[in-house]
């Protein structure tokens, strides 16, 4: 990337990175950008997501029955088929079917699932990325 656009991604801890990669490829259509064995760079609908095996270096896999240690938020044009695909591949759906949520900028269509590795994913439309009437300062513009 050569522009000033920031990209936020996550690295998901998995005890078996290759098993996680197989699941993300099947369930979410992830593409492998690079593979170092225990650390793998993926792209899901163009968004970078990384998977790694912790090795005593300050992080660990989510473990049951504790809550996930991070939340992955994936924004796409049509979240419904992606969530359905993940559930078909063994994800545990939390909001199925996806629901419309009333937000200050209008409806936001979003659902969620927990993947087989314990990570919480929220899959939604792109409306939070550029809500209408947003002032350049990041504050909502007052109408009227």
Write the pLDDT tens digit of every residue in 49-93: 999 998 877 788 887 666 666 789 899 999 999 999 999 999 987
Query: What tokens appear for 64 in the block?
Result: 């049951």
Residue 132 confidence (pLDDT)? 66
**pLDDT at 144 > cutoff 50:** no
CATH superfamily of 11-57+75-129: 2,3-Dihydroxybiphenyl 1,2-Dioxygenase, domain 1 (3.10.180.10)
Q: Tell me, what's the pLDDT at 56?
A: 77
Alpha carbon distance 85, 67 (integer Å) = 23
Percent of the chain with pLDDT over 70: 80
Provide the CA 129 distance to its chain's centre, in angstroms.
Answer: 14
> Most distant CA pair in the chain: distance in Å?
57
Residue 119 has pLDDT above 80, yes or no: yes
Contact 38, 11 (CB under 8 A): no
Please state whether beta strands 71-75 and 31-35 pair in parallel, antiparallel, or not at all (unpaired): unpaired
pLDDT at 128: 84
> Cis omega (within 30 of 0) on the bond before 103?
no
């Amino acid at each position: 990337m050569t522009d000033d656009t920031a990209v936020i991604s996550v690295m998901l801890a998995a005890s078996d990175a290759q098993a996680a990669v197989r699941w993300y490829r099947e369930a979410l259509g992830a593409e492998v950008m690079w593979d170092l064995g225990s650390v793998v760079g993926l792209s899901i609908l163009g968004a970078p997501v990384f998977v790694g095996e912790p090795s005593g270096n300050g992080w660990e896999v989510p473990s049951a029955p504790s809550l996930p240690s991070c939340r992955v938020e994936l924004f796409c044009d049509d979240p419904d088929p992606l969530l359905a695909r993940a559930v078909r591949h063994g994800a545990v759906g939390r909001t199925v079917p996806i629901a419309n949520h009333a937000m200050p900028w209008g409806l936001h269509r979003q659902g969620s699932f927990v993947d087989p590795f314990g990570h919480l994913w929220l899959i939604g439309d792109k409306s939070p990325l550029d809500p209408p009437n947003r002032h350049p300062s990041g504050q909502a513009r007052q109408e009227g």
